[in-house]
Amino acid sequence: MTFTKICVLGLGYIGLPTASTFATHGLQVVGVDVNPHILETLRNGGLHIHEPGLRTLVEAAVKSGKLTVSEKPEEADAFIIAVPTPFYEDQFGEYNGQMYKLADMRAVTSASEAILPVLRKGNLVVLESTSPPRTTVDLVAPILERSGLKAGVDFHLVYSPERVLPGQILRELIENARVIGGITPASAQAGRDLYAVFVKGEIIQTDATTAEMVKLMENTYRDVNIAIANEFARLAERVGVDVWEAIGLANRHPRVRILSPGPGVGGHCISVDPWFLVEAAPDITPLIYKARNVNDAQPHFVLDLVKRALGSLKGKKIAALGLSYKPDVDDLRESPASEVIHLLQHKGALVKAFEPFKPDADLPGITAVPTLEAALKEADAVLLLVNHTELRALTPEKLAALTPARILIDTVNGWVGKNWEGAGFVVHCLGVRK
Ligand code: SAJ
């Protein structure tokens, strides 16, 4: 199948890079979003998200005339749905007295409904949003079939997960292997033809539900791996071991690859997607459920660490460094750092936070200051919450000059290997017994 014009529904972290990449590879692309603010920003040459290289790419796509934006889909050869699939904040499932989170599929539903009036025979529809297993066949197909056209017969339908890492989206979009799950082999082939426009990685065809599972399994595997790293950190503190050294040594085994402990698991993917599997079958997913709980509880272990370092937190001034959900990105969504700060404040600590990637960060209930100096200048203790390259690079001499604090609490092992004691500091590191 060949493609001249496509519509991409949802212009967020995945949709906008995808739409722009198709446009710079010669397709006519209509980017669709229901948020008028996003459309206005893009029409005025602005950008509502931060991702390295994205500004240049979007500018090139718009300038060439190949990327336009609209509030509604138009007739096209293919439609890509890349809208958010969060979980409900106020609705839960229950199994055996245990609550689990439920996927909020309203955006996928309304995007599918928006395609209905412009869906034509021979079109390809792709769902990219991370979704519970069977969404493509049980939710999207029936909506699109309200057009009178039959999925897999009159139009092609595919699930193809995005697997790009925030911070490296543009490179990974092109280079990563791409899984294309068709509701029929012909649909998968049509999906391959579309992504072959720019994907340089391997393109692998399968069925739609397998592709959905693949995506969820990848992120769940990572969540469970981080959960075990966090439990190892707790154990290491208990038995008097440095977990970072122990993990480093264990990872010298050719078949072991333990991830890193930290203040918790944030972002909009790893901390969300495993719930889709629990929701699909709560009776047979106790490990996935437990791993989510272990990682969600991690900010409380950071609180314990800070208490061990400082005693009572009442009135203690803490400089909290890093607010994003992970290193070297500016994304503050679902950030464990914010949760740690709330817990500290709840115990009476006075926290000033600094996020180098977003000096103007504005989070409810958190005092964020625009410079490192402002966060550090009157602190009693310095708490490293995100392993940003520039925070990791701080030297004992530099820090000693910027703060009267001599207590450092490192939750990410960012400051390992420097002569902190020589500069008068005492370092408390997560996963290391003092
Ligand atoms: N984290 C740890 N320890 C680690 C690694 C990560 O505590 O060893 C924490 C991070 O600090 C962060 C969270 O986990 O708070 C998630 O970060 P991440 O880098 O593991 O993942 P995301 O959410 O940025 O991106 C993931 C990626 N999935 C996998 O690596 C399997 C990415 O490829 C997906 O495309 C993305 O989810 C997505 O959109 O689903």
Helix (H, G, I), strand (E, B) or coil at 291: helix
- Given the residues 66, 269, 317, 358, select the one marked as catalytic: 269
Q: Quick one: pLDDT at residue 218?
A: 97
CA distance 349 to 343: 9
Quick one: average pLDDT of 361-367?
96
Q: Which atom of ligand 1 is nearest to the CA of 387?
A: 11
Q: Would you place residue 433 in the very low, low, confident or very high pLDDT band (cuts 50, 70, 90)?
A: confident
Q: Which amino acid is at 233?
A: A
Give alpha helix (H) positions in 240-366: 243-250, 273-280, 286-310, 336-346
Could you tell me what percent of the chain has a pLDDT over 90?
96
Q: Which atom of ligand 1 is nearest to the CA of 260?
A: 8
Q: pLDDT tens, 76-91? A: 999 999 999 999 999 9
Q: Would you place residue 434 in the very low, low, confident or very high pLDDT band (cuts 50, 70, 90)?
A: low
Q: pLDDT tens, 280-326? A: 999 999 999 999 999 999 999 999 999 999 999 999 999 999 999 99
Q: Tell how far the Cα of 270 is from the centroid of ligand 1, in angstroms.
A: 6
Give yes or no: 269 in active site. yes
Q: Tell how far the Cα of 142 is from the centroid of ligand 1, in angstroms.
A: 32
Q: pLDDT tens, 164-194? A: 999 999 999 999 999 999 999 999 999 999 9
Q: Output the ligand 1 site: residues, CB below 6 A.
A: 130, 162-166, 218-219, 222, 226, 259-260, 262, 265-267, 269-270, 325-326
CA distance 239 to 256: 22
Average pLDDT, the chain: 97
Q: Would you place residue 49 in the very low, low, confident or very high pLDDT band (cuts 50, 70, 90)?
A: confident
Task: Output the pTM of the full model.
Answer: 0.95
Assess whether pLDDT exceeds 80 at residue 196.
Answer: yes
Q: Which of 165, 221, 230, 385 to mutate to test the pocket of ligand 1 (most atoms within 8 A of CB)?
A: 165
Give yes or no: 215 in active site. yes
Q: Would you place residue 340 in the very low, low, confident or very high pLDDT band (cuts 50, 70, 90)?
A: very high
Q: Tell how far the Cα of 210 is from the centroid of ligand 1, in angstroms.
A: 21
- Whether residue 22 contacts residue 78, with contact meaning beta carbons closer than 8 Å, is answered with no
Q: Whose CA is nearest to atom 32 of ligand 1?
A: 165
Record the tokens describing residue 105, joined without a space. Answer: 């599929």
